[in-house]
Amino acid sequence: MKTIKGPAIFLAQFMDEVAPFNTLDNIGSWLAQLGYKGVQIPTWDKRCIDLEKAANSKTYADELKGSLSEKGLAITELSVHLQSQLVATHPAYDIMFDGFAPAHLHQDPKARTAWAVNQVELAAKASANLGLNTLAAFSGALLWHTVYPWPQRPSGLVQAGFKELANRWRPLLDICDQHGVDIAYELHPGEDLHDGITFERFLEELQGHPRANILYDPSHFVLQQLDYLAFIDFYHERIKAFHVKDAEFLKSGKSGVYGGYQDWIDRPGRFRSLGDGQVDFKGIFTKLSRYGFDRWAVIEWECCIKDPVQGAKEGVAFVNNHIINVTQKTFDDFASTGADDNLNKRILGL
């Protein structure tokens, strides 16, 4: 068993034009004062990081890491959620996903994909320069529009989709391997990798690539009505990152897991601030500790009701209260009769 690190927080939902959320230095000072020990950095946000510079300049990477270290903060992981989404997208979503890329790439899906691939490559190099071994990402999606099989999916469609997804990611995973970095895919509705079965399909096409791993976020499993505790039993060896995010599913006579196209606040399944939802975090922290997960517990704040500042402030104590300092001794050691081969044989009547 090992002890989980934390608390840490993902910066993406907090960056703003208003201080202290307008620069990495300012938000870092604010978070350190709240008691945070780590930050997960969104690489698309120039207020947080110059990704290309971090990939090509060890000096810049050291300075970035050092400026946070002076505040008592570590960088937990870099995130390429927005860029990695564009590694694989279906044309039906082109207009909406154009906003994830620079303006000069809009309405040019091929150029946009090439840019996204390069961004992930840069993030792998930047991670290595920063001394990080995990990169948080989405898989993208070629099949999501067929998630509900109506009309009936043609035979072989799913296999072809996962083969293509693997073909796009294999070169990037190989680059990550060269830099000693795992890609932790956040299993998320809207992505082709959204549950255990889809991750297994992907992994099979990759022949079990060691750098293809999981960012565990139980909130997305609550919304899918998946057993998020049993998931850890199945996939703990591949869990390399952890988003601490709460959620709830309130059964309704009018709407279900698909949400009826409603806004988040009206959906049966919705994200909540830590402690306000239904996720069994005691069970999660227990299982992860038991399986030796010693990486970061990173709060991802997404709530349709509570203010983010309140959520961030409350999150520190919440994570601290759930981190288990794993024991180094057995509770009944006081009653031990010692270890002796001859004694054991006598007890067994041998």
Give me the CATH number covering residue 152: 3.20.20.150
Q: Give the pLDDT confidence score for residue 338 in this predicted structure.
A: 75
Q: Give the pLDDT confidence score for residue 333 in this predicted structure.
A: 72
Mutual orientation of helices 109-129 and 58-69 as an angle, nearest 10°? 70
pTM of the model: 0.95
Give the 3-state secondary structure of residue 303. coil
What's the gap between Cα 100 and its chain centre? 18
Structural domain of residue 249, as residue ranges?
5-347
Mean pLDDT by runs of 10 across the 350 residues of the chain is: 96 97 98 98 98 98 98 98 98 96 97 98 98 98 97 97 98 98 98 98 98 98 98 98 98 97 97 98 98 98 96 98 90 73 89
Are the beta carbons of 313 and 25 closer than 8 angstroms? no
Q: Give the pLDDT confidence score for residue 247 in this predicted structure.
A: 98
Are the beta carbons of 175 and 118 closer than 8 angstroms? no
Provide the residue type at 39 as one letter. Answer: V
Query: What is the DSSP code (8-state) at residue 1?
Result: -
Q: Give the pLDDT confidence score for residue 343 in this predicted structure.
A: 86
Q: Give the pLDDT confidence score for residue 111 in this predicted structure.
A: 98
Provide the residue type at 258 as one letter. Answer: Y
Q: How many domains does the chain have?
A: 1
